[in-house]
A and B are shown apart, each in its own frame.
Chain A
Amino acid sequence: MKYTQPSTNLGAPCLDSETWARKLAPRLTRLLLTLTACHRAPQLPLIAIIVPSQDNPYFKAEAEAAAARALQLGYRVRIDAHNDDAYRQDNLIDAAIASNAAALILDNAGTDASISTVRRATQAGIAVFLIDREISAHGIAKAQIISDNDQGARLAAQAFAQALNNHGDYAELIGRESDANAQIRTHGFHAILDASPQLKLVAAQSANWSQSEAFQKTETMLQAHPSISGIIAGNDTMALGAAAAVKGANRPDIRITGFDGSNDAINAINSGELTATVLQPAAFISQLAVDQADLYLHTHTTGKPELQIIPCDLVDKSNAAHYKDFAKLP
């Protein structure tokens, strides 16, 4: 097929399209250049970072620390969130495989639900480094670097018991009950608190890690049990929700501890609303994972055991100034 030439008597429009062409030419060249640049960029190896969510300060810090270190080491990065949905995680990992990621930094969506997905990524040649949460199978991921939730929970419980002078009624706010870390933490709390016979648990409720839910449930628990003199929470957002309720009920005598070590919690410790929290070194763990991924990609070994457990730090009024953004200040 041949295109028919436009007849030449259309002088003015022809001129117009010529000027258009003249104007467009440099732009098109520039666009083409950028496109080729984009095309060349994938030569930098990709590190995919997948975390549970980006509206939670803990996971956000974890993702940002990993991304910063990976960029520093000369990788491209991509951050995604699976919202604790194993199926969505599966799709995100498919996307990572499709884009030829060299390594994957993953805070997974479920101890058992993530095994097959991680195996598939490994078989596709991606070096998988798990952070924050472990999976119940070994020998698939190159490393599983997690903070010691049990040790952290015991630290929090010790500080809590001390703040209550080892006696009195207390309430517990539990995280999402289907989350393994919620179970490990409540187990750790009780390993310490149940040893003091004068500490009595009068109410325990799940507030699903949520601040507004913890606020309402604490208000109601305080009505049911005015004798409560302390509230131990499975994470900082719930502790802050409890603190708002305690403030509303005008009960400054009630002591509250959290878990995670977020900046908001540290500010609340400084202002006296919270007694203590436990800092999980999320930023440190992410950096460690990226460093080991880098080492592995160059030498095919991390030189470390697969399971690496990093201890948590207790943060209270005495040392709150030394912590920020889920890391100990240098």
Chain B
Amino acid sequence: MTTPTTLSGRALLLLLKLRAVLMLLILLAIFSALSPTFFTANNLSILAKHVSISALLATGMTLVVLTGGIDLSVGSIAGLSGIVAGLLINGLTLGGSTHYPPIPVVILAALLTGALAGAANGLLIARFSVAPFITTLGMLYIARGTALLLSNGHTFPNLAGSQAHHNTGFPALGQSFLLGIPTPVWIALIIAAIAALVAARTPFGRHIYAVGGNERAARLAGIHIARVKLLTYILSGLCAALVGLIIASQLESAHPATGESFELNAIAAVVLGGTSLMGGRGSIGGSLIGALVIGVLADGLVMLGVSEFWQIVIKGVVIVLAVTVDQLQSRVQFRFLNALFRPKQEAAQ
């Protein structure tokens, strides 16, 4: 009698575990049926490019959330990194002469900006025990304000650079293709693959899960908690800086308000992917699926011509639905495990 219940229980559990994938497949089926151009190579390539933005942010965010933290500053850091790139490409005036750094230096400087902002977050959280929500909320304002100060509110135009200053080539980062796939998609895939490998296979990765699962136990086990947390925020800042660079490169201009509310998309992707906001449970792969769900939803609704207001409502419904199913999963899992172990316990007695 126990076999069928455990089997159906096992099937239900598998179904719930794959809920994000299922949701993605259902959305793909709906949009493909309703729009003849949705499931074409061209559109999927553009869709992947759009998804790569929130996927990159979600990758960094997942590492932070796994430690039990949160990073609200990623959108602002993306905006700031774009502005740093715009500033440097348009020439930096120092001591009367204007310098035009080469593009690799520009990219490094923008990435360094993101890493520094992330390090500031991490230091405050790990060393001074400020709540992550508050620290990164502060950084959200600081980074945005700094971007506005650096640009004086203007947009930096013309990021194509010029031959005369030997700083052309920046647009390639966001606009070029490698083997027929947009470069931003490659960047997101590579970063996510490295992050997934690090999270699953390295001591540092296991430490991230341990810190989020039970910080006290992790400390007693000799894990350097402050270092683990600091590193995750630096990585999140780096991912955000990459996003800012890609967007500035795609638009060939840098606007200080770029990235507003991006952090919410990233958090939504992480949650949709099944990562627990309490930390300790989740995966990079899940967050990628989450980012895909949000991206497919956004692009599909635009293709169908659904109004902006409905798009916002539908996105909200999908997020709430996903978290509800998440709760359902843990309950079913609990019952399933109970059903599995009770006979043995009885036998032991």
Contact = CB atoms under 8 A, between A and B. Distances in A.
Contacts of B148: 54-55
A55 B37 contact: no
A70 to B, nearest CB: 19
B252 interface: yes
A240 B35 CA distance: 27
Contact of B299 (A203, A220, A225, A241): A220
Contacts of A53: 153
Given A205-B308, A219-B50, A54 B175 contact: no
A270 interface: no
Given A55-B257, A57-B155, A221-B302, 8 more contacts: A205-B308, A212-B247, A220-B50, A220-B303, A223-B37, A224-B305, A244-B251, A267-B157
A212 B251 contact: yes
Interface stretch (B38-46, B204-212, B231-239, B285-293): B38-46
Given A212-B247, A219-B50, A224 B155 contact: no
A205 B301 CA distance: 10
Nearest to B300: A220
The 5 closest A-B pairs by CB, nearest first: A224-B303, A206-B308, A223-B43, A55-B153, A54-B153
B251 A241 contact: yes
B302 A211 contact: no
Contacts of A113: none
Contacts of A252: none
Interface in A202-240: 203-206, 208, 210-212, 215-217, 219-221, 223-226, 237, 240
Interface centre among B252, B255, B256 (most CB of A within 10 A): B255
A56 B154 CA distance: 7
Given A204-B305, A244-B251, A216 B50 contact: yes
Contacts of A204: 305
B171 to A, nearest CB: 9
Interface centre among A206, A224, A241, A248 (most CB of B within 10 A): A224
Contacts of B37: 223-226
B161 to A, nearest CB: 15
Interface of A: 53-57, 60, 177, 203-206, 208, 210-212, 215-217, 219-221, 223-226, 237, 240-241, 244, 248, 264, 267
A148 B253 CA distance: 29
Given A203-B305, A223-B303, A224-B37, A244 B252 contact: yes
A56 B152 CA distance: 10
Contacts of A223: 37-38, 40, 42-43, 46, 303
Given A57-B154, A211-B255, A226-B37, A221 B250 contact: no
B303 A221 contact: yes
A224 B301 CA distance: 11
A53 B252 CA distance: 23
B35 A224 contact: yes
B46 A220 contact: yes
A55 to B, nearest CB: 4
A60 B303 contact: no
B253 A215 contact: no
Nearest to A244: B251
Contacts of B46: 219-220, 223
A226 to B, nearest CB: 7
A205 B299 CA distance: 11
A215 B43 contact: no
Contacts of A220: 43, 46-47, 50, 299, 302-303
Contacts of A206: 307-308
B309 interface: yes
A60 B154 contact: yes
B307 to A, nearest CB: 8
Contacts of A221: 302-303
B258 interface: yes
Given A55-B256, A216-B50, A248 B250 contact: yes
B337 to A, nearest CB: 44
Interface centre among A57, A204, A206, A212 (most CB of B within 10 A): A212
